[in-house]
Amino acid sequence: MQPKETRAHDYPPADIAARVLYRDALMLVIDKPAGLAVHRGPKGGPSVEDYFDALRFGLPRAPALAHRLDKETSGCLVLGRHRKALAHLGLLFKHGKIGKTYWALVEGGPRDDSGSIDLALGRLDATRGWWMKPDPCGLASLTRWTVLGRGEGMAWLALEPLTGRTHQLRVHCAASGFAVIGDDIYGTAPRFTGPGLHLHAREIEIPLLRNRAPVRVSAPPPAHMHARLKACGWVAPQAPENQ
């Protein structure tokens, strides 16, 4: 039976606090559920910002976002716990010092087992907000990919964005002929309500302090990706991860 996917509005503050994967004096890493926006949007609806008070853990100030994930992308999301920490994390992200690995299930899949996508991206048009397109005059964008498994008509990829453009992974995959399953903007999925995008921020590596090993955090894949991951060879762990 397919596991039931909990939607954003089903999460009380205590449950969001329970999704903390890592915590120290400087930052939090939470497992953001698919369907929960990171920012409050003009049309309303729940967002990670609504839960900041529940993520203080004794500090006088609430944390703040160090970066962003798309609403329908699940997984590792970093929050700074105070202004100095947030500024430090912001510089690490800006200068590409933070390693990010995403898992994606894609339609079809590449022929090779690994490779890279070097394709500049630009804004689609002024009416489409953050939607992007391949654009030779746009910003340089580079993604490294590795095939982790294959199933009937699909592939399981590890994606490493070496640049941080909006919708980079989704546009790069679609433009390369293997759109992310469930992508209703750049792929073939119809517009619908419910968890569908099979893109997950699997792991993040943060060189937070000098002379110390980077902090490495991974997030378990969401329930709506399990069936297709298993079809591509993924074996669910027997014990909770990050313990």
What digits encode the pLDDT tens for the residues 22-73?
Answer: 999 999 999 999 999 998 876 778 899 999 999 999 999 999 999 999 999 9
End-to-end CA distance of the chain: 27
Average pLDDT taken over every residue of the chain = 89
CB 147 within 8 A of CB 176: no
Marked catalytic residue, from 10, 31, 50, 70: 70
Say what percent of the chain tops pLDDT 70: 88
pLDDT of residue 3: 46
Instruction: Please check whether residue 94 lies inside any domain of the structure.
Output: yes
pLDDT band at 13 (very low <50, low <70, confident <90, very high): confident
The answer to whether residue 237 sits within a structural domain is no
Phi, psi angles (nearest 5°) of residue 91: -70, -40
Number of domains in the chain: 1
According to DSSP, residue 63 is labeled -
For residue 1, give Cα distances in angstroms to 153, 198, 199: 21, 18, 21
3-class secondary structure, 158:
strand
Q: pLDDT of 82-115, one tens digit each?
A: 999 999 999 999 999 999 999 999 999 999 999 9
Distance CA 103, CA 147 (A): 10
Q: Is the residue at 97 inside a domain?
A: yes
State the pLDDT at residue 8. Answer: 47
Region label for 110, one of left (φ > 0), alpha (ψ between -120 and 50) or beta (otherwise): beta
Residue type, 161: P
The type of residue at 187 is G
Residue 203 domain-assigned? Answer: yes
pLDDT band at 219 (very low <50, low <70, confident <90, very high): very high
- Residue 54 main-chain phi, psi, to 5 deg: -75, -10
> The domain that contains 180 carries what CATH number?
3.30.2350.10
* Residue 125: per-residue pLDDT: 74
The mean pLDDT value for 222-240 works out to 91
To the query of whether residue 15 is one of the catalytic residues in this protein, the response is no
| Under 8 Å between Cβ of 98 and 203 | no
Give residue 14's Cα distance to chain centre: 22
Query: Is 216 inside any structural domain?
Result: yes
Structural domain span for residue 65: 8-231
- Does a structural domain hold residue 172? yes
